[in-house]
Amino acid sequence: MGVTKSSIFTAEQNTIAAYAKVLGHPARIAIIQELIERKSCVCGDLVDEIGLAQATISQHLKELKQLDIIKGEIDGTRVCYCINTLKWNEVKKMFGAMFSSLRKRKFTCC
């Protein structure tokens, strides 16, 4: 597989693609949904609820945390995770603007 030439795309296009990539895994969607429902939880709770191995859940949490979609606060020997609502709203706005741009244009398909 070739290397993506990200330099030929705008910063916005690269940012949207990065969020789409991290949101493109069903386990990460399940984690996000669980965090939204519970407001916060630790990795062990996610393992019990989702049914994946602890190492797998931890890797998905790492991916979500790298893009700041979730936050993790240390609580003793555990890390309590929650949705980063500021970043979540930015991502929602970014995707919303992209999706709504189609509605504003009148055109016909091929």
What domain range includes position 74? 10-98
Q: Quick check: 2 pLDDT over 60?
A: no
Please, which pLDDT band fits residue 41 given cuts at 50, 70 and 90? confident
Task: Please check whether residue 32 lies inside any domain of the structure.
Answer: yes
Task: Please check whether residue 1 lies inside any domain of the structure.
Answer: no
Task: Provide mean pLDDT across the span 60-73.
Answer: 94
**84: which residues sit within 8 A by CB, 6+ positions away?**
68, 69, 70, 71
Give the largest Cα separation in the chain, rounded. Answer: 59
Structure tokens at 78: 């555990």
pTM score, whole prediction: 0.84
Task: Please check whether residue 36 lies inside any domain of the structure.
Answer: yes
Q: What sign does the dihedral 93-94-95-99 (CA atoms) show?
A: positive
Task: Please check whether residue 88 lies inside any domain of the structure.
Answer: yes
Radius of gyration of the chain (CA): 17
CATH number of the CATH domain containing 31: 1.10.10.10
Mean pLDDT of the chain: 89
pLDDT-above-70 percentage for the chain: 89
Q: Provide the pLDDT for residue 3.
A: 57
Q: How many domains does the chain have?
A: 1
